[in-house]
Structure 1
Amino acid sequence: MNIRIIFLLSAFAAFFLPFAYGENNPAPAAAQATAAARRGALYRVRQQGHTAYVFGTIHVGLPAFFPLDDQVTQALSHASRLVLELDVRRDEPFQAALRKHGLYADGDTLERHLSPAGLAHLRRALERFGMPFAQVTMLKPWLVTNMLVGLDLERQGYQRRYGIEFFLLAQAQAKEVRELESAEYQMSLYDDMSDAQQEQYLRENLAELEESASRGKARALIEAWASADGDAQERLLRESLAEKTLSADFTQRVLLDKRNPEMADKIGALLQSGETSFVAIGLLHVLGENGVPALLRRRGYEVEKLY
């Protein structure tokens, strides 16, 4: 399975890069026409009478995903603040991080950082997407990779404008909104890869995009989220991380094992404030024995999986 598809679906807010938040976000309107169902994974974390809810999200969706389950909407209504990986409305810091970590400096181009074989592979992929090479020549390979994976998901019908964060923001307009991370931090993790690693990352994911099977597996994760099927979510994560690829290793080592403890630290600090928080993070961050809920439980917090 394409671990990059899996991760962009569920655990990395920089996936919003090509899409700007706007007042025309359709998720709240769509919510009024559809019956609620359990989706994702929802946890309640307590310590000394203080509460935080932790909700696993995906960053794309369908109109039919809304409204969210009553337990989610009630938890959000009881919370004093909404906490996201990134506040996707804040465009300026996002663009600044993008220029610093995703684009080459003036006079430098993508062609100078890819091998002839890697460059040829990318050109073929861009032709399939109907995208001119000139459109990506200033982008670093990691950014081109994530952009193409996102475009492929949109071609399958899954839209970023129906990402769960947008719905939550619309429902929490009167609440304080905080970020667990920053765009600068998230993009720096990718930019730390060497040229050779970024090319391997690009070529692994381009190869996966050429296989129709990877699309079916991406749909499987979306369906597991949409039906709150925890067993399927855990299985898909294990299968993806078991792959012997740079992408799987990077996801496990950097995007999960590094960030999950940091997120747990920050959720613990939120609990100490005495205010109830609703924390929405990518689904992969809440799964497994090293997921955020499991880490909080090992640290002595009372953690209850609501579903």
Structure 2
Amino acid sequence: MKKLHILVLLGILAQTATAQSSLLWQVSGNGLKKPSYLFGTYHILKDSYLNQNTKVKTAYANAEGVVVEMVVDSSAMLKMAMRALMLTNSLPDLISETDYNLVAKEFEKATGMDLGLFNQVKPVVTSTMLSLAYLEKESDTLKRFTGQPLDMYFATEGKKLGKTVTPLETMEEQITMLYDHDPVEKQARQLVQMVKEKGSMRRVSQSLTDLYLKEDLSAMWKLSEQYGEQYGDMSYLVDERNHNWMKKLPNVMAIRPTFVAVGALHLPGPNGLIELLRKAGFTVEPL
């Protein structure tokens, strides 16, 4: 399924609506005593990446608070697992036998696991696993980085350093968005489409990774626009969440200088955080 794979990848990647190349933006003005920072993350990129991006490390060090999309709540893990299940359905009942065998073969090849173990898991979970497997295997450039995923690093390290860590969403909100937005029938069709179109998906995976590491935000924005128009409405994943987050971010930044780290598709465009912050009266500049 092209749409879901692109959503997974673009949710991971950073971009901006301008031609300027920067993953990091300074937010100032509008009554802020000290600047805050907005950084577009790549969720599976490991934190040793920061060793080559000293401006991000400096901004993070200067911030007294950290904002991330979500902080993992161990008490919610069981609920998350239960919400992923299809208690009255099964993947073989949602797609044809031919399509099931096609997906099963590809899933085992990509992940090393038997698809049968996931027959009663919502197809969006299987699609996400397959997307990430493609991304990790096709993007050799990522393998040189070690440590924790960037978002987790910013949150856990922030706690160690005594920074105030603020999540923009709860695990429950993210679970609902991922697992329940589309009916399982649609999720299953998207899973089959994704496998059938895996060649183009892998090429997009590599392109987006390369563009992120080059900080070629203009090209990433064009690519996201192309696939966004072609493969469906992503407003519930990006635009709606950005507007919800804007109800929190100005107040958080007014209290203390804050380092905001979010999946980078949230930065660009008319409903991106860069533009929404500017409309709210802040000065937002690339670093």
TM-score by length of 2: 0.82
Asked which structure has the greater RCO (Cα within 8 Å, sep 6+), the reply is 2
Displacement of 1:7: 3.2
One-letter code aligned to 2:75: E
- CA 1:263–1:197: 2 relative to 1, 3 Å: same
Q: Where do residues 56-205 of structure 1 align in structure 2 (5 Å cutoff)?
A: 56-61=40-45, 65-88=49-72, 90-100=73-83, 102-105=84-87, 108-116=89-97, 118-129=99-110, 130-156=112-138, 157=140, 158=142, 163-169=149-155, 171-172=157-158, 173-174=160-161, 175-190=163-178, 191-205=180-194
Is 1:256 equivalent to 2:245 in the alignment? no
- Comparing 114-123 with 260-269, which one deviates more in the overlay? 114-123
Matched residue SS, 1:82: strand
Displacement of 1:44: 1.7
- CA 1:95–1:205: 2 relative to 1, 3 Å: farther
Displacement of 1:263: 1.9
- CA 1:85–1:300: 2 relative to 1, 3 Å: same
CA RMSD of aligned residues (A): 2.8
- Comparing 136-145 with 194-203, which one deviates more in the overlay? 194-203
Is 1:216 equivalent to 2:197 in the alignment? no
1:237 paired residue number: 224
Kept in 2, the 8 Å contact 1:42–1:55? The answer is yes
Displacement of 1:188: 0.8
Displacement of 1:95: 4.0
Kept in 1, the 8 Å contact 2:32–2:253? The answer is no
Kept in 2, the 8 Å contact 1:40–1:227? The answer is no
Matched residue SS, 1:242: helix
TM-score by length of 1: 0.77
Q: Identical aligned pairs, as a percentage?
A: 24
- Comparing 91-100 with 135-144, which one deviates more in the overlay? 91-100
Displacement of 1:40: 5.8
Is 1:305 equivalent to 2:286 in the alignment? yes
Q: Which runs of 5+ in 1 are unaligned?
A: 14-38
Q: Cα deviation per residue 1:141-177 (whole Å; 9 max; x = unaligned)?
A: 1111111111222222446965322443454321222
